[in-house]
Structure 1
Protein backbone atom coordinates (compact mmCIF):
# COMPACT_ATOMS: atom_id res chain seq x y z
CA UNK A 1 0.00 0.00 0.00
CA UNK A 2 1.09 3.57 -0.65
CA UNK A 3 1.44 5.71 2.46
CA UNK A 4 1.12 9.40 1.70
CA UNK A 5 3.01 11.08 4.51
CA UNK A 6 1.23 14.41 4.37
CA UNK A 7 -1.64 16.26 5.96
CA UNK A 8 -2.06 18.42 2.84
CA UNK A 9 -5.53 18.20 1.31
CA UNK A 10 -3.97 19.28 -1.98
CA UNK A 11 -1.51 16.37 -2.05
CA UNK A 12 -4.31 13.95 -1.20
CA UNK A 13 -6.35 15.38 -4.08
CA UNK A 14 -3.42 14.94 -6.48
CA UNK A 15 -2.73 11.33 -5.41
CA UNK A 16 -6.42 10.47 -5.86
CA UNK A 17 -5.90 11.14 -9.59
CA UNK A 18 -3.71 8.02 -9.75
CA UNK A 19 -6.63 5.71 -8.87
CA UNK A 20 -4.50 3.55 -6.58
CA UNK A 21 -5.13 2.57 -2.96
CA UNK A 22 -3.34 4.80 -0.47
CA UNK A 23 -3.51 5.87 3.13
CA UNK A 24 -2.87 9.38 4.44
CA UNK A 25 -0.65 9.54 7.52
CA UNK A 26 0.79 12.56 9.29
CA UNK A 27 4.60 12.42 9.44
CA UNK A 28 6.15 12.59 12.88
CA UNK A 29 8.56 15.40 12.06
CA UNK A 30 8.47 19.05 13.08
CA UNK A 31 9.44 21.15 10.05
CA UNK A 32 10.17 24.12 12.31
CA UNK A 33 13.26 22.33 13.60
CA UNK A 34 15.05 22.76 10.27
CA UNK A 35 17.21 25.86 9.70
CA UNK A 36 15.36 28.19 7.30
CA UNK A 37 18.72 29.69 6.28
CA UNK A 38 19.85 26.53 4.50
CA UNK A 39 20.15 26.53 0.74
CA UNK A 40 16.51 26.34 -0.46
CA UNK A 41 17.00 23.10 -2.38
CA UNK A 42 18.77 21.47 0.57
CA UNK A 43 16.02 22.73 2.89
CA UNK A 44 13.10 21.37 0.85
CA UNK A 45 14.79 18.02 0.17
CA UNK A 46 15.77 17.58 3.82
CA UNK A 47 12.20 18.28 4.94
CA UNK A 48 10.81 15.69 2.53
CA UNK A 49 13.43 13.15 3.62
CA UNK A 50 12.87 13.67 7.34
CA UNK A 51 9.12 13.27 6.89
CA UNK A 52 9.65 9.93 5.11
CA UNK A 53 12.18 8.63 7.61
CA UNK A 54 9.76 9.42 10.45
CA UNK A 55 7.32 6.92 8.92
CA UNK A 56 9.77 4.20 7.82
CA UNK A 57 9.74 2.17 11.04
CA UNK A 58 5.96 2.42 11.45
CA UNK A 59 5.32 1.22 7.87
CA UNK A 60 8.35 -0.95 7.04
CA UNK A 61 6.62 -2.99 4.29
CA UNK A 62 4.74 -0.17 2.58
CA UNK A 63 5.72 2.36 -0.05
CA UNK A 64 6.05 5.79 1.55
CA UNK A 65 5.76 9.07 -0.33
CA UNK A 66 6.37 12.44 1.30
CA UNK A 67 6.80 15.93 -0.12
CA UNK A 68 7.64 19.47 0.82
CA UNK A 69 6.94 22.64 -1.16
CA UNK A 70 8.58 26.01 -0.73
CA UNK A 71 8.43 29.37 -2.45
CA UNK A 72 11.75 31.14 -2.98
CA UNK A 73 11.87 34.87 -3.68
CA UNK A 74 15.25 36.51 -4.21
CA UNK A 75 16.95 33.64 -2.34
CA UNK A 76 14.59 33.84 0.65
CA UNK A 77 12.39 30.88 1.57
CA UNK A 78 8.77 31.91 2.04
CA UNK A 79 7.09 29.14 4.00
CA UNK A 80 3.56 29.15 5.37
CA UNK A 81 2.69 32.50 6.92
CA UNK A 82 2.73 32.87 10.69
CA UNK A 83 -0.34 35.09 10.65
CA UNK A 84 -2.29 37.45 8.40
CA UNK A 85 0.33 40.20 8.71
CA UNK A 86 3.02 37.76 7.56
CA UNK A 87 0.82 36.66 4.64
CA UNK A 88 0.37 40.31 3.66
CA UNK A 89 4.14 40.93 3.67
CA UNK A 90 4.79 37.85 1.52
CA UNK A 91 2.10 38.71 -1.01
CA UNK A 92 3.35 42.31 -1.15
CA UNK A 93 6.87 41.02 -1.98
CA UNK A 94 5.58 38.69 -4.68
CA UNK A 95 3.38 41.30 -6.40
CA UNK A 96 4.60 42.09 -9.92
CA UNK A 97 7.56 39.75 -9.46
CA UNK A 98 8.63 36.22 -10.27
CA UNK A 99 9.57 33.51 -7.81
CA UNK A 100 10.58 29.85 -7.78
CA UNK A 101 8.52 26.99 -6.37
CA UNK A 102 10.36 23.81 -5.41
CA UNK A 103 8.56 20.62 -4.51
CA UNK A 104 10.83 17.86 -3.24
CA UNK A 105 9.69 14.29 -2.73
CA UNK A 106 11.06 11.26 -0.95
CA UNK A 107 9.94 7.80 -1.96
CA UNK A 108 10.75 4.75 0.13
CA UNK A 109 9.97 1.66 -1.89
CA UNK A 110 11.26 -1.88 -1.34
CA UNK A 111 13.64 -0.55 1.32
CA UNK A 112 15.26 1.94 -1.03
CA UNK A 113 15.14 5.69 -0.43
CA UNK A 114 14.87 7.88 -3.51
CA UNK A 115 14.67 11.65 -3.60
CA UNK A 116 13.56 13.83 -6.50
CA UNK A 117 12.32 17.35 -6.99
CA UNK A 118 10.76 19.66 -9.51
CA UNK A 119 10.96 23.40 -10.00
CA UNK A 120 8.53 25.91 -11.45
CA UNK A 121 8.69 29.66 -11.97
CA UNK A 122 5.62 31.72 -11.14
CA UNK A 123 5.03 35.28 -12.34
CA UNK A 124 2.63 37.36 -10.26
CA UNK A 125 0.55 40.23 -11.58
CA UNK A 126 0.61 43.69 -10.14
CA UNK A 127 -2.18 43.87 -7.57
CA UNK A 128 -3.27 46.39 -4.96
CA UNK A 129 -3.20 46.26 -1.18
CA UNK A 130 -6.99 45.92 -1.26
CA UNK A 131 -6.69 42.85 -3.49
CA UNK A 132 -4.10 41.36 -1.09
CA UNK A 133 -6.38 41.94 1.90
CA UNK A 134 -9.40 40.55 0.05
CA UNK A 135 -7.39 37.42 -0.73
CA UNK A 136 -6.18 37.05 2.86
CA UNK A 137 -9.79 37.37 4.03
CA UNK A 138 -10.63 34.19 2.10
CA UNK A 139 -8.41 32.33 4.60
CA UNK A 140 -6.73 30.48 1.76
CA UNK A 141 -3.18 31.84 2.22
CA UNK A 142 -2.80 30.69 5.79
CA UNK A 143 -1.61 27.12 5.22
CA UNK A 144 0.33 27.56 2.01
CA UNK A 145 3.97 28.24 1.21
CA UNK A 146 4.32 31.77 -0.09
CA UNK A 147 0.80 32.54 1.18
CA UNK A 148 -1.05 31.50 -1.96
CA UNK A 149 -2.64 28.52 -3.67
CA UNK A 150 -2.55 28.27 -7.46
CA UNK A 151 -5.60 25.98 -7.47
CA UNK A 152 -7.90 28.36 -5.61
CA UNK A 153 -8.56 32.06 -5.24
CA UNK A 154 -4.81 32.66 -5.52
CA UNK A 155 -4.99 31.92 -9.25
CA UNK A 156 -6.17 35.48 -9.82
CA UNK A 157 -2.79 36.78 -8.57
CA UNK A 158 -0.84 34.82 -11.18
CA UNK A 159 0.07 36.19 -14.58
CA UNK A 160 1.71 33.01 -15.88
CA UNK A 161 3.95 30.15 -14.83
CA UNK A 162 6.61 27.88 -16.31
CA UNK A 163 6.64 24.28 -15.21
CA UNK A 164 4.11 21.88 -13.74
CA UNK A 165 0.86 23.14 -12.24
CA UNK A 166 1.00 20.17 -9.84
CA UNK A 167 4.51 21.05 -8.68
CA UNK A 168 3.22 24.49 -7.72
CA UNK A 169 0.19 22.90 -6.07
CA UNK A 170 2.44 20.63 -3.98
CA UNK A 171 3.21 17.33 -5.74
CA UNK A 172 4.78 16.82 -9.19
CA UNK A 173 2.24 14.31 -10.49
CA UNK A 174 4.08 13.15 -13.62
CA UNK A 175 7.30 12.51 -11.70
CA UNK A 176 5.43 10.64 -8.95
CA UNK A 177 3.68 8.44 -11.53
CA UNK A 178 7.02 7.63 -13.16
CA UNK A 179 8.73 6.83 -9.85
CA UNK A 180 5.83 4.60 -8.77
CA UNK A 181 5.96 2.80 -12.12
CA UNK A 182 2.42 3.78 -13.14
Structure 2
Protein backbone atom coordinates (compact mmCIF):
# COMPACT_ATOMS: atom_id res chain seq x y z
CA UNK A 1 0.00 0.00 0.00
CA UNK A 2 1.43 3.36 -1.05
CA UNK A 3 1.03 6.30 1.32
CA UNK A 4 1.72 9.98 0.65
CA UNK A 5 4.74 11.71 2.11
CA UNK A 6 3.58 13.63 5.17
CA UNK A 7 4.73 15.72 8.10
CA UNK A 8 4.14 14.34 11.59
CA UNK A 9 3.54 17.37 13.79
CA UNK A 10 4.27 15.59 17.05
CA UNK A 11 7.32 15.00 19.20
CA UNK A 12 5.93 11.64 20.39
CA UNK A 13 8.42 8.84 19.62
CA UNK A 14 5.53 6.36 19.78
CA UNK A 15 3.67 8.05 16.90
CA UNK A 16 6.87 8.17 14.87
CA UNK A 17 7.44 4.45 15.50
CA UNK A 18 3.88 3.52 14.49
CA UNK A 19 4.12 5.45 11.21
CA UNK A 20 7.48 3.83 10.51
CA UNK A 21 6.04 0.36 11.13
CA UNK A 22 3.18 1.15 8.72
CA UNK A 23 5.64 2.22 6.04
CA UNK A 24 4.31 5.78 5.92
CA UNK A 25 7.02 8.13 4.58
CA UNK A 26 7.15 11.04 6.99
CA UNK A 27 9.25 13.76 8.49
CA UNK A 28 8.83 14.95 12.06
CA UNK A 29 7.82 18.61 12.07
CA UNK A 30 9.07 20.31 15.22
CA UNK A 31 6.91 23.32 15.93
CA UNK A 32 7.99 26.24 18.12
CA UNK A 33 6.87 25.64 21.72
CA UNK A 34 3.65 27.25 22.89
CA UNK A 35 2.93 28.64 26.32
CA UNK A 36 2.06 25.70 28.56
CA UNK A 37 2.56 22.14 27.39
CA UNK A 38 -1.08 21.07 27.63
CA UNK A 39 -4.01 22.78 25.96
CA UNK A 40 -6.46 24.13 28.53
CA UNK A 41 -9.94 22.67 28.62
CA UNK A 42 -12.55 25.28 27.79
CA UNK A 43 -15.36 25.99 30.26
CA UNK A 44 -18.16 23.46 29.76
CA UNK A 45 -16.17 21.52 27.17
CA UNK A 46 -16.65 17.75 27.25
CA UNK A 47 -13.60 15.47 27.12
CA UNK A 48 -14.79 14.21 23.71
CA UNK A 49 -14.95 17.73 22.30
CA UNK A 50 -11.64 18.63 23.95
CA UNK A 51 -9.60 15.86 22.31
CA UNK A 52 -11.01 16.61 18.85
CA UNK A 53 -10.50 20.37 19.18
CA UNK A 54 -6.95 19.93 20.41
CA UNK A 55 -6.01 17.74 17.45
CA UNK A 56 -7.53 20.32 15.06
CA UNK A 57 -5.71 23.17 16.79
CA UNK A 58 -2.41 21.33 16.40
CA UNK A 59 -3.08 20.84 12.69
CA UNK A 60 -3.94 24.51 12.19
CA UNK A 61 -0.80 25.55 14.04
CA UNK A 62 1.32 23.21 11.92
CA UNK A 63 -0.18 24.49 8.67
CA UNK A 64 0.41 28.09 9.73
CA UNK A 65 4.04 27.21 10.51
CA UNK A 66 4.51 25.62 7.07
CA UNK A 67 3.04 28.68 5.38
CA UNK A 68 5.34 30.92 7.41
CA UNK A 69 8.44 28.92 6.48
CA UNK A 70 7.57 28.84 2.78
CA UNK A 71 7.92 26.05 0.21
CA UNK A 72 11.62 26.72 -0.28
CA UNK A 73 12.42 25.63 3.27
CA UNK A 74 9.62 23.11 3.83
CA UNK A 75 7.97 21.54 0.77
CA UNK A 76 4.17 21.52 1.05
CA UNK A 77 2.89 18.15 2.29
CA UNK A 78 -0.08 16.94 4.33
CA UNK A 79 0.26 17.32 8.09
CA UNK A 80 -0.73 14.61 10.56
CA UNK A 81 -1.55 15.53 14.15
CA UNK A 82 -3.08 13.60 17.02
CA UNK A 83 -4.19 14.04 20.59
CA UNK A 84 -4.73 11.24 23.11
CA UNK A 85 -6.79 11.82 26.23
CA UNK A 86 -7.35 9.57 29.24
CA UNK A 87 -10.81 10.13 30.69
CA UNK A 88 -11.97 8.98 34.12
CA UNK A 89 -15.38 10.04 35.45
CA UNK A 90 -15.46 13.02 33.04
CA UNK A 91 -12.02 14.16 34.26
CA UNK A 92 -9.14 14.45 31.80
CA UNK A 93 -5.94 12.90 33.15
CA UNK A 94 -3.08 14.62 31.38
CA UNK A 95 0.67 14.17 31.73
CA UNK A 96 1.69 14.31 35.40
CA UNK A 97 3.81 17.26 36.45
CA UNK A 98 5.36 15.38 39.38
CA UNK A 99 5.78 11.91 40.84
CA UNK A 100 3.14 12.76 43.44
CA UNK A 101 0.68 13.65 40.67
CA UNK A 102 1.52 10.44 38.78
CA UNK A 103 0.94 8.40 41.93
CA UNK A 104 -2.43 10.11 42.50
CA UNK A 105 -3.53 9.35 38.93
CA UNK A 106 -2.55 5.69 39.20
CA UNK A 107 -4.40 5.40 42.52
CA UNK A 108 -7.53 6.66 40.78
CA UNK A 109 -7.10 4.28 37.84
CA UNK A 110 -6.51 1.29 40.13
CA UNK A 111 -9.32 -1.26 39.98
CA UNK A 112 -11.43 0.89 37.67
CA UNK A 113 -12.39 1.32 34.04
CA UNK A 114 -11.49 4.40 32.02
CA UNK A 115 -11.75 5.62 28.44
CA UNK A 116 -8.95 6.62 26.09
CA UNK A 117 -9.81 8.80 23.10
CA UNK A 118 -7.32 9.44 20.32
CA UNK A 119 -8.25 12.04 17.73
CA UNK A 120 -6.29 12.09 14.45
CA UNK A 121 -6.25 14.90 11.89
CA UNK A 122 -4.73 14.86 8.40
CA UNK A 123 -4.76 18.25 6.71
CA UNK A 124 -3.30 20.46 4.04
CA UNK A 125 -4.17 23.98 2.88
CA UNK A 126 -7.33 22.73 1.14
CA UNK A 127 -8.90 20.16 3.46
CA UNK A 128 -8.93 18.63 6.90
CA UNK A 129 -9.90 15.00 7.56
CA UNK A 130 -10.61 13.77 11.09
CA UNK A 131 -11.11 10.46 12.90
CA UNK A 132 -11.48 9.39 16.53
CA UNK A 133 -10.62 6.10 18.24
CA UNK A 134 -12.43 5.23 21.49
CA UNK A 135 -11.03 2.51 23.75
CA UNK A 136 -12.09 1.24 27.17
CA UNK A 137 -9.32 0.07 29.50
CA UNK A 138 -9.77 -1.70 32.83
CA UNK A 139 -6.95 -1.68 35.39
CA UNK A 140 -6.38 -4.33 38.01
CA UNK A 141 -6.23 -3.26 41.64
CA UNK A 142 -2.77 -1.78 42.21
CA UNK A 143 -0.99 -1.99 45.54
CA UNK A 144 0.94 1.01 46.87
CA UNK A 145 4.10 -0.97 46.12
CA UNK A 146 3.01 -1.52 42.49
CA UNK A 147 2.51 2.21 42.06
CA UNK A 148 5.76 3.18 43.80
CA UNK A 149 7.82 0.72 41.74
CA UNK A 150 6.23 1.90 38.50
CA UNK A 151 6.74 5.58 39.32
CA UNK A 152 10.39 4.84 40.16
CA UNK A 153 10.97 3.78 36.54
CA UNK A 154 10.14 7.30 35.31
CA UNK A 155 7.83 5.83 32.69
CA UNK A 156 4.66 7.66 33.84
CA UNK A 157 6.10 11.16 33.49
CA UNK A 158 5.58 11.89 29.78
CA UNK A 159 2.33 10.00 29.27
CA UNK A 160 -1.32 10.94 29.53
CA UNK A 161 -2.90 9.28 32.54
CA UNK A 162 0.59 8.53 33.91
CA UNK A 163 0.97 5.22 32.07
CA UNK A 164 2.12 3.70 28.80
CA UNK A 165 0.24 0.56 27.85
CA UNK A 166 3.12 -0.58 25.61
CA UNK A 167 5.51 -0.53 28.56
CA UNK A 168 5.50 -1.90 32.09
CA UNK A 169 1.97 -0.61 32.71
CA UNK A 170 0.74 -3.33 30.36
CA UNK A 171 1.03 -5.54 33.47
CA UNK A 172 -1.77 -3.50 35.08
CA UNK A 173 -4.30 -3.91 32.25
CA UNK A 174 -6.94 -6.56 32.91
CA UNK A 175 -9.01 -5.85 29.81
CA UNK A 176 -9.04 -3.59 26.76
CA UNK A 177 -11.89 -3.02 24.34
CA UNK A 178 -10.87 -0.99 21.31
CA UNK A 179 -7.53 0.00 19.83
CA UNK A 180 -4.23 -0.85 21.51
CA UNK A 181 -2.38 1.52 19.17
CA UNK A 182 -4.96 4.21 19.98
CA UNK A 183 -4.03 3.98 23.65
CA UNK A 184 -0.38 4.27 22.60
CA UNK A 185 -1.22 7.56 20.89
CA UNK A 186 -1.91 6.86 17.21
CA UNK A 187 -4.72 4.45 16.21
CA UNK A 188 -3.51 2.42 13.24
CA UNK A 189 -6.87 1.70 11.63
CA UNK A 190 -8.14 5.28 11.76
CA UNK A 191 -4.80 6.70 10.61
CA UNK A 192 -4.64 4.33 7.66
CA UNK A 193 -8.21 5.19 6.68
CA UNK A 194 -7.43 8.92 6.66
CA UNK A 195 -4.29 8.38 4.57
CA UNK A 196 -6.23 6.31 2.02
CA UNK A 197 -9.00 8.91 1.84
CA UNK A 198 -6.44 11.65 1.35
CA UNK A 199 -4.69 9.76 -1.43
CA UNK A 200 -7.97 9.02 -3.23
CA UNK A 201 -8.89 12.70 -3.18
CA UNK A 202 -5.62 13.87 -4.75
Output the TM-score relative to the length of structure 2: 0.85
The answer (yes or no) to whether the contact 1:36–1:77 under 8 Å persists in 2 is: no
1:1-182 equivalences under 5 Å are 1-28=5-32, 29-30=34-35, 31-35=37-41, 38-59=45-66, 61-109=76-124, 111-181=126-196
CA distance, structure 2, for counterparts of residue 155 and residue 124 of structure 1? 9
Work out the number of aligned pairs and report it. 182
Structure with larger Rg: 2
CA distance, structure 2, for counterparts of residue 75 and residue 57 of structure 1? 32
Tell me, which stretches of 5 or more residues in structure 2 are unaligned?
68-75
CA distance, structure 2, for counterparts of residue 123 and residue 36 of structure 1? 28
Tell me, which stretches of 5 or more residues in structure 1 are unaligned?
none
The answer (yes or no) to whether the contact 2:15–2:186 under 8 Å persists in 1 is: yes
- 1:140/1:117 Cα in 2 relative to 1: closer, same or farther (>3 Å)? same
CA RMSD of aligned residues (A): 1.6
Output the TM-score relative to the length of structure 1: 0.94
